[in-house]
Chains A and B, each alone.
Chain A
């Protein structure tokens, strides 16, 4: 069952492209990572899903209902955290959250709100204007989670949070997903996407450049090899012309670290000609893979 469907979605702002021909699905109960640098179209997609923007063409559906611009399609069942969370500065967090909960017909969420504020260590009785950026973001987290939604759309949820609170938020995400909710997690922080998501989409300049399970995305990226040469060996220059797809990451008097694409066979055969002391294969992270996608897409392949 699909919790989110995006079909050939295009949104243009005049001549500028927000997103173009974007299509993907998110399954029920899935935690889905949505990755891309600033201006890649993540927020545009999310706002189209929320009915806040009118798509130029294409459509989205959430929880089985087609999203209509300007109408609250299934918003009672959605927990949404905007990328730049702002709330009335002159009111206490508690009053603001109560008003927003009432707008979704969600009165009587006091217990959940208290529980969340306790877990996030937030005083709800302080005026929002006096809170630090991190604490304001905690108000946003409570806002998104307070009505136990079936679908969470979180745009950069951990921005401005310290590492401990960040872990708490990731735990919350895992808990709601375990309870059956679907989560779309848009983030710059690739480690947190790798930590909680099963699948991810990578966006670049409004286009989808990858949509795959996280391990597959990681595998498709560059692999690394670190070599320590024997004491008397002279470190050779890397023949980039004969070893296709290889690039030097770090080189010093004793070692050489390279990244390569595809099979290690050619690299190992070349290394066998020199006095090698030992070899290590540092694990490729999602971050490496992500950077790789951008380098490749921008035509910076080596």
Chain B
């Protein structure tokens, strides 16, 4: 016979049979996002190899710098600013870490994944099915968060592995300081995860179109604040307002220690945006 747990005719308030974590959903979503992740990872990896192919040859570097000098100053700032000089191998390899194309690829993943998983499933009508199974709403959010944040961090590690592979392929006639690139990768991974957290917050609050628009707008504004404050001394005060400012390549190369302050800021942004997104996601009535 079927069992009920009713005492004195009143329903059991003690919801003791907690839902198990939906690993099936995590696996399903991971497999759905994997092709996009692999494609983006492959492009980022190739880009690092391509950058190293250019910068290992001094003649090509001279040609590149001459070309960049002809362009408006903010373009040079976009590509790395004063680190672009012959002989500064580490600075030149770092172009591959802050090039707008690479940042665009990160942004595609950061914005696309949480909006597709949370807002996208709602708009498709399939979130209602997912939540009608033995799945807690918060667990669904955690699944989306894990895929976004781990995926973003993994992309940064792929970027770093691209640099390692490139240093094995090309001869730079000097030692490439891979430890510093490792530090950049770790801090950059935190930046990427924080961006993922912000996208997750937007996906938890809004419909897909709105979430994508707001996140992209936020990131574009942040990026331009970073460029303008870097390029225009009178706007230097704006630098702390940009999330991109907290991965300071030159400082990481100059100081042997870890940029603990910047890492704390990025970790705080990730934590606050993710927790806030989780609270909003849990409390709001989904527009099913």
Whether the Cβ atoms of B135 and A72 lie closer than 8 Å is yes
- Known pairs A66-B12, A71-B19; A87 contacts B288 (CB<8 A): no
B50 on the A face (CB < 8 A): no
Q: Which residues of A contact B130 (CB under 8 A)?
A: 100, 103
Whether the Cβ atoms of A66 and B11 lie closer than 8 Å is yes
Q: Which residues of A contact B283 (CB under 8 A)?
A: 54
Q: Digit string of B149-174 for contact with A (CB within 8 Å is 1, else 0)?
A: 00000000000000000000000000
A57 on the B face (CB < 8 A): no
Q: Complex formed: what's the CA distance from A28 to B19 in Å?
A: 24
A124 on the B face (CB < 8 A): no
| Interface hits, A41-99 → B, CB 8 Å | 47, 50-54, 59, 61, 63-66, 68-76, 78, 80, 82, 84-88, 99
Whether the Cβ atoms of A66 and B13 lie closer than 8 Å is yes
Q: Digit string of B277-288 for contact with A (CB within 8 Å is 1, else 0)?
A: 000001101101
Q: Digit string of B30-47 for contact with A (CB within 8 Å is 1, else 0)?
A: 000000000000000000
Q: Digit string of B258-271 for contact with A (CB within 8 Å is 1, else 0)?
A: 00000000000000
Whether the Cβ atoms of B135 and A86 lie closer than 8 Å is no
| Interface hits, B1-48 → A, CB 8 Å | 1-2, 4-6, 11-13, 15, 17, 19-20, 22, 24-25, 28
Q: Complex formed: what's the CA distance from A157 to B234 in Å?
A: 66
Whether the Cβ atoms of B135 and A103 lie closer than 8 Å is yes
Q: Which residues of A contact B131 (CB under 8 A)?
A: 50-52, 72
Binds A, one of B94-102, B103-111, B120-128, B247-255: B120-128
B276 on the A face (CB < 8 A): no
Whether the Cβ atoms of B2 and A180 lie closer than 8 Å is yes
Q: Which residues of A contact B132 (CB under 8 A)?
A: 50, 52, 75, 78, 80, 82
A272 on the B face (CB < 8 A): no
Q: Which residue of A lies closest to B285 (CB)?
A: A53
Q: Which residue of A lies closest to B137 (CB)?
A: A70
Whether the Cβ atoms of B20 and A105 lie closer than 8 Å is yes
State the interface size on chain A (CB cutoff 8 A).
Answer: 43
B58 on the A face (CB < 8 A): no
Q: Which residues of A contact B28 (CB under 8 A)?
A: 99
Contact of A100 among B12, B15, B17, B129 (CB under 8 A): B129
B238 on the A face (CB < 8 A): no
- Known pairs A2-B6, A52-B286, A88-B126; A71 contacts B15 (CB<8 A): yes
Q: Which residues of B contact A86 (CB under 8 A)?
A: 124-126, 128-129
Q: Which residues of A contact B20 (CB under 8 A)?
A: 105
Q: Which residues of A contact B134 (CB under 8 A)?
A: 72, 75-76, 103-105
Whole-angstrom distance between the Cβ of A66 and the nearest chain B Cβ: 4
- Known pairs A52-B132, A75-B134, A103-B134; A64 contacts B126 (CB<8 A): no
Whole-angstrom distance between the Cβ of B23 and the nearest chain A Cβ: 9
Whether the Cβ atoms of A72 and B136 lie closer than 8 Å is yes
Whole-angstrom distance between the Cβ of A257 and the nearest chain B Cβ: 44
Q: Complex formed: what's the CA distance from A88 to B130 in Å?
A: 11
A260 on the B face (CB < 8 A): no
A156 on the B face (CB < 8 A): no
Whether the Cβ atoms of A99 and B24 lie closer than 8 Å is yes
Contact of B24 among A70, A73, A84, A102 (CB under 8 A): A102
- Known pairs A54-B285, A80-B132, A105-B134; A63 contacts B4 (CB<8 A): yes
Contact of A87 among B11, B17, B126, B286 (CB under 8 A): B126
A222 on the B face (CB < 8 A): no
Whole-angstrom distance between the Cβ of B125 and the nearest chain A Cβ: 3
Q: Complex formed: what's the CA distance from A159 to B227 in Å?
A: 57
Whether the Cβ atoms of B4 and A1 lie closer than 8 Å is yes
A32 on the B face (CB < 8 A): no
Q: Which residues of A contact B4 (CB under 8 A)?
A: 1, 3, 28, 63-64
A150 on the B face (CB < 8 A): yes
Q: Which residue of A lies closest to B28 (CB)?
A: A99
Q: Complex formed: what's the CA distance from A1 to B1 in Å?
A: 12
Whether the Cβ atoms of A64 and B11 lie closer than 8 Å is yes
Whole-angstrom distance between the Cβ of B202 and the nearest chain A Cβ: 20
B220 on the A face (CB < 8 A): no
Q: Which residue of B lies closest to A76 (CB)?
A: B134
B235 on the A face (CB < 8 A): no
Q: Complex formed: what's the CA distance from A175 to B134 in Å?
A: 24
Q: Which residues of A contact B13 (CB under 8 A)?
A: 66
A290 on the B face (CB < 8 A): no
B138 on the A face (CB < 8 A): yes
Whether the Cβ atoms of B125 and A65 lie closer than 8 Å is no
Whether the Cβ atoms of B135 and A65 lie closer than 8 Å is no
Q: Which residues of B contact A3 (CB under 8 A)?
A: 4
A143 on the B face (CB < 8 A): yes
A20 on the B face (CB < 8 A): no
Contact of B11 among A61, A70, A105 (CB under 8 A): A61
Whether the Cβ atoms of A65 and B126 lie closer than 8 Å is no
Whether the Cβ atoms of A72 and B11 lie closer than 8 Å is no
14 contacts between A and B (CB under 8 A): A52-B131, A52-B285, A65-B5, A69-B137, A70-B137, A70-B282, A71-B136, A72-B19, A73-B15, A78-B132, A84-B125, A102-B24, A103-B25, A105-B20
Residues of B within 8 A of A (CB): 1-2, 4-6, 11-13, 15, 17, 19-20, 22, 24-25, 28, 124-126, 128-138, 282-283, 285-286, 288
Q: Which 8 A-B pairs have the closest CB atoms?
A: A86-B125, A61-B11, A70-B137, A64-B4, A102-B24, A103-B133, A80-B132, A66-B11
